[in-house]
A and B are shown apart, each in its own frame.
Chain A
Amino acid sequence: MTAGRSWPATLFLSLFGLAFIYPLLWLVAASLKPNADVFTTIGLIPSHIEWSSYKQGWVGIGRVTFTQFFLNTVKLVVPVVALTALSSAVVAYGFARFRFPLKKTLFSLMIATLMLPDAVIMIPRYILYRNFGWLNSYWPFYIPALLAVHAFFIFLLVQFFRGIPRELDEAAEIDGCGSFRTLTRVLLPLCVPALISVCIFQFIWTWNEFFNTLIYINSVSKFPVALGLRMVLDNEGAVNWNQVLAMCVVTIVPCVAVFFAAQKHFVEGIATTGLKG
């Protein structure tokens, strides 16, 4: 590719990229504008910067501040991500490397759950969790993660495992590794990029999750940020749009930050695993 051919492309991609990212930039800018300017100005530079929207928005609802919402989110998200990575890797290992009765059927069933509309099972699940006494706690999130209910991640890792030569783990076993040690010593280190993409996906999904949290979490003191934001939004008295926008920014930032921090692994992860589908 010659340089001459690529600069118009670069220009096009830059302009196009700017157009795509502009709404997000505007979101950040508008959150810093005085409330009256939110709707009326399109520029990215506020006439004067109003940090107060963040300060006032952060106060949250009643006596629960966004500090609390963030702590709750961490309490919700971190175990869910860790449990998902762990359980998905173990299960994927089972599917990718072992023969057992009904394997094909079970694998197909697992894939089939990818296509299952969540709404079909939402209602009975709720009743189940109620019977277990898990309402208004994070167990309805932890337990499905522990039990690798998100077939997507298993699938992703199975695909990845399949790409790793089987000879590697056979060699490890010859060296005297048990199957579990083979997993932890040989395979897991090789699939770090895939595991990281599992973690990031799950992080982002759980971070943004609001339908299930709405159903299962009742106490404001246990709300994660997504619900906190929704509350600010729905609040009858919410008239200060720049505060709402400020809290939108605050909600988005961790996702974007995590994405940037792990971007390289992330893209490699999907690139390698999503492919063979």
Chain B
Amino acid sequence: MRQITKWGKALGIGVLAGSVLAGCAANEDGGNAANGSGNGTASDGETKNVTLRFSWWGSEARHKAVLEAIDLYMEQNPNVTIEPEYGGFDGYYQKLVTQLSGHTAPDLTPLSADWIDDIAVKGNLVLDLYTLKDQINLEAFDQSFLEKYVVYDGKMIGLPMGVNGMVTAYNKDFLQKYGIPEDTQWDWNTIHDIGQQVHQQDSSVYLLGTLDFRTFLQPYMSQKTGNQWINDDKTIGFTEADLTEAFAYYKSLFDDGVMQPAAESSLYSEPAKNVLFQKGGIGLAFSLASALPQMKTYVPSLDVASYPIAADAKTSGVLVVPANPLAINKDTKYPEEAAKFASWLLTAPESAAILRDNFSVPPAAANAQSLADQNLIDPTVAKAVQTALQDPGDPINGVSNNQEIAKLVNDYMQQVAFGQSAPDKAAKELIERMKDKLASLQ
């Protein structure tokens, strides 16, 4: 119980700001100077009227906040009209690509991590923001964070909208009920053993609900091998034996009652939607910080700990991502205005005060700090980001983010989960099919 909530709230953000986003905390008012949001710094912008289309996905709360921020920006910049286009996440990618192909895509859109390779790197459809650095308050961001997560081949494909990371979210009541200490250092062994015990105590509950490629297999293998899932040279980052072992471990989670049977959980795409989780019958979930508020609506006593790291891990494998980099469409007629708006949205203190933690913790450390000081950020989210940042894994490379490969992996995980494929068979077939896919990616 060292990690008291208050500590997470106040100090957690301090650590975050101090360690990872170091060197920019003092730069708070740099934001106003560079982004021309207010007082006539953008002299040529004042005269011509500009309409920018800005599209995003998310929850109702996020929509409300972004719309409010847009209003404020338009008030400060009467010549700029921002047309909002927003919706849910399902189908967003499909729409975006059809729009990009039809040259009707919005001027600004966030990119989910797994689209970056297709859209930004191979597709080359978004602007390199380094070319717009006069319009963007880059100093507000941590340079190494930018370079690590949003710069590909020397091009900055977007501005991080927040700092997001993977953690173990746990239901405090559940742990208490089954006598599991809250400060348990989760690793793959403890998960299996404790999970098995819990299910033996009470057959209606499980330690874990669902796992997938991102929340389990990718980090698990990366801990095991120290490699990317797919190496940069498009070879597979592990051996068949490694994968067989991982699948066997995964299977043992089902066989030993650690995980809810797949037939009961396969319908739910996210932990928060799993009814058993909502009812408190599931103890843990591996989740990105940004998804925690939704989980908390069901399980108020939610807290977070580090993502499981094996004792002999070659790398932590803990996923840290720049909550959907905000990219500017290459087709935009007003790259400067779009960049100014993006910069304002993500660095201006008044924007941060509106957006709060709707895109996880704000990317500009100074804003994160001041929101934390004012208690405007969900303390669990803040603590989660801080926890993930303590030992971040290597950023996932482009090819490992390939959607088709992720889908394949998830398909084979399901086969193992449903007992339709033995671990060795699944490993063999999956590797074969990934090789086929990789060959076609050239």
Contacts and interface: CB of A to CB of B under 8 A. Distances in A.
Chains A, B in direct contact (C-beta < 8 Å): yes
Interface stretch (A4-12, A194-202, A211-219): A211-219
Interface string B96-133: 00110111101000000000000000000000000000
Given A63-B67, A130-B102, A237-B61, A220 B91 contact: no
Interface stretch (B81-89, B196-204, B335-343): B81-89
Interface string B62-96: 11100100000000000000011111111100110
A233 B298 contact: no
B60 interface: yes
Contacts of B88: 230-231, 233-236
A135 interface: yes
B96 to A, nearest CB: 10
A61 B102 contact: no
B102 A126 contact: yes
Which of the listed residues B58, B275, B291 has the most CB atoms from chain A within 10 Å of its own CB? B58
A239 B297 contact: yes
25 contacts: A62-B67, A126-B98, A126-B102, A127-B102, A130-B101, A130-B104, A136-B104, A214-B91, A215-B98, A218-B55, A219-B85, A220-B86, A231-B87, A233-B88, A234-B91, A235-B60, A235-B88, A236-B57, A236-B58, A236-B89, A237-B60, A237-B62, A239-B294, A239-B297, A239-B298
A218 B59 contact: no
Interface of B: 55, 57-64, 67, 83-91, 94-95, 98-99, 101-104, 106, 272, 275, 291, 294, 297-298
Given A62-B67, A136-B104, A234-B87, A214 B60 contact: no
A39 interface: yes
Contact of A214 (B63, B95, B294): B95
Given A230-B90, A231-B87, A236-B57, 16 more contacts: A61-B63, A62-B64, A126-B102, A130-B104, A135-B102, A136-B104, A218-B85, A218-B106, A220-B85, A234-B89, A234-B91, A237-B60, A237-B62, A237-B294, A238-B59, A239-B272
Contacts, number: 74
Interface in A214-232: 214-215, 218-220, 230-231
A62 B294 contact: no
Contacts of B101: 130
Interface in A122-140: 126-127, 130, 135-136
Nearest to B58: A236
A134 to B, nearest CB: 10
A61 B60 CA distance: 6
Contact of A220 (B87, B99, B102, B275): B87
Contacts of B103: 130
A218 B298 CA distance: 32
Contacts of B62: 236-237
Which of the listed residues A126, A127, A239 has the most CB atoms from chain B within 10 Å of its own CB? A239
Interface in A94-144: 126-127, 130, 135-136
B86 A62 contact: yes
A222 B57 CA distance: 16
B294 A236 contact: yes
A239 B3 CA distance: 29
Contacts of B95: 214-215, 218
Nearest to B88: A234
B355 to A, nearest CB: 14
Nearest to A239: B297
Contacts of B58: 236-237
Contacts of A234: 87-91
A230 B103 CA distance: 25
Contact of A218 (B64, B67, B99, B275): B99
A207 to B, nearest CB: 20
Contact of B86 (A39, A61, A237): A61
A235 B297 CA distance: 15
A214 B96 CA distance: 11
Contacts of B99: 135, 218
B84 A62 contact: yes
Contacts of A39: 275
Contacts of B102: 126-127, 130, 135
Contacts of A63: 67
Given A62-B64, A219-B83, A235 B98 contact: no
